[in-house]
């Protein structure tokens, strides 16, 4: 079966002075039907730029897709006219963002905001849409949904606002949900609640999720496949169990070592030494070499290609070439 989403050699740039700065540099991956694929990496790795490109929104952020393909259910998104794309966006592909307070309209009640998408995409009549919006509020576990339908976003807690964002995103029963750091601003118990809600809704609606996160703990628990990004490039791609059993790329090893563990008496939390290089000045060779304890002379000179290790795994590192 063809994947629901196929991103092939995606290249996205931002203008800077008289130059063009590449934020996403030849990224390829697939999202299969009914699966959760995690895009993982530190800030500046290109995860969110990739997501906005899939949504066809990167131009609004000042970016430009320079090359590559994004196929959604076999249709090339990058060549679509805005009118056609806007019919897909919100309906077939929906997105939830990290910060619900800036994503929700502060002056419109939450119920009406959930209802709006149903009306825009002509999913339901005005009368039906109110009932659907109320049902969605109940499904994402907003307590006392009937009474709170008319409340403004500011009267809800951070966790509840994120649930409202989820209800909005799921209102048209999308086939692909892009969840960009959906739990970052929440405490640990709320994170689990929100992720469980997302997983439950995914199973019920049969949708796929592209989960964008820097939190490998979440990935271990919820994702099927993982794509590890660093400085605009895919460094490793693997099914989740194999990745945690035997991470291949030194960056992935570092990320996994950063996960706090309760079964050891670690006195200090591990962190990957050094800094992510500036997007304005990526080093020659492997972009991770200034932080890699396994770097060899060739790592400073030439970027390794991404290669298949087996049918399921890929890695970009000179240690495997």
Q: Which residues bind ligand SF4 (CB under 6 A)?
A: 249-250, 286, 288-289, 292, 294-296, 299, 304, 317-319
CB 110, CB 143: distance < 8 Å: no
Residue with smaller CB distance to ligand SF4, 263 or 281: 281
DSSP for 152-168 reads -GGGS-HHHHHHHHHHH
DSSP for 84-110 reads HHHHHBTTTEEEE-S-HHHHS-TTS-H
Strands (DSSP E) contained in 73-165 are 75-76, 93-96
Residue with smaller CB distance to ligand SF4, 79 or 302: 302
Residue with smaller CB distance to ligand SF4, 202 or 289: 289
Write out the H or E segment, with its range, that includes residue 283. Answer: none
Residue with smaller CB distance to ligand SF4, 47 or 249: 249
Q: Helix (H, G, I), strand (E, B), or coil: what is residue 190?
A: helix
d(CA 315, CA 198) in angstroms, rounded, equals: 29
Distance, C-alpha 142 to centroid of its chain? 24
Residue with smaller CB distance to ligand SF4, 91 or 233: 233
């Amino acid at each position: 079966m063809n994947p629901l989403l196929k991103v092939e050699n995606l290249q996205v740039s931002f203008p800077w002075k008289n130059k063009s700065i590449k934020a996403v540099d030849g990224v390829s991956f697939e999202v299969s039907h009914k699966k959760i694929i995690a895009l993982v990496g530190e800030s500046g790795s290109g995860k969110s730029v990739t997501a906005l490109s899939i949504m066809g929104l990167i131009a609004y952020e000042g970016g430009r897709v320079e090359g590559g393909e994004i196929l959604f259910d076999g249709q090339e998104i990058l060549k679509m006219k805005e009118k056609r794309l806007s019919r897909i966006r919100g309906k077939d592909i929906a997105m939830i963002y990290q910060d619900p307070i800036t994503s929700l309209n502060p002056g419109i009640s939450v119920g009406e905001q959930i209802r709006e998408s149903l009306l825009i995409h002509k999913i339901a009549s005005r009368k039906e849409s109110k009932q659907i919006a109320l049902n969605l509020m109940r499904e994402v576990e907003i307590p006392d949904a009937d009474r709170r339908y008319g409340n403004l976003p500011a009267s809800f807690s951070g966790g509840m606002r994120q649930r409202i964002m989820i209800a909005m995103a799921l209102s048209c029963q999308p086939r692909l949900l892009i969840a960009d750091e959906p739990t970052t601003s929440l405490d640990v118990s709320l994170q689990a609640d929100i992720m469980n809600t997302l997983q439950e809704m995914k199973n019920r609606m049969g949708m796929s999720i592209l989960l964008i996160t820097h939190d490998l703990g979440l990935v271990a628990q919820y994702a099927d496949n993982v794509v590890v990004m660093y400085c605009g490039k895919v460094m490793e791609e693997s099914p989740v169990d194999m990745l945690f059993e035997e991470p291949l790329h030194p960056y992935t090893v570092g990320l996994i070592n950063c996960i706090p563990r309760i079964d050891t008496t670690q006195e200090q939390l591990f962190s990957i030494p050094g800094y992510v290089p500036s997007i304005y000045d990526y080093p020659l060779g492997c972009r991770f070499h200034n932080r890699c304890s396994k770097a060899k002379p060739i790592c400073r000179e030439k970027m390794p290609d991404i290669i298949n290790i087996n049918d399921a795994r890929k890695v970009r590192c000179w240690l495997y070439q």
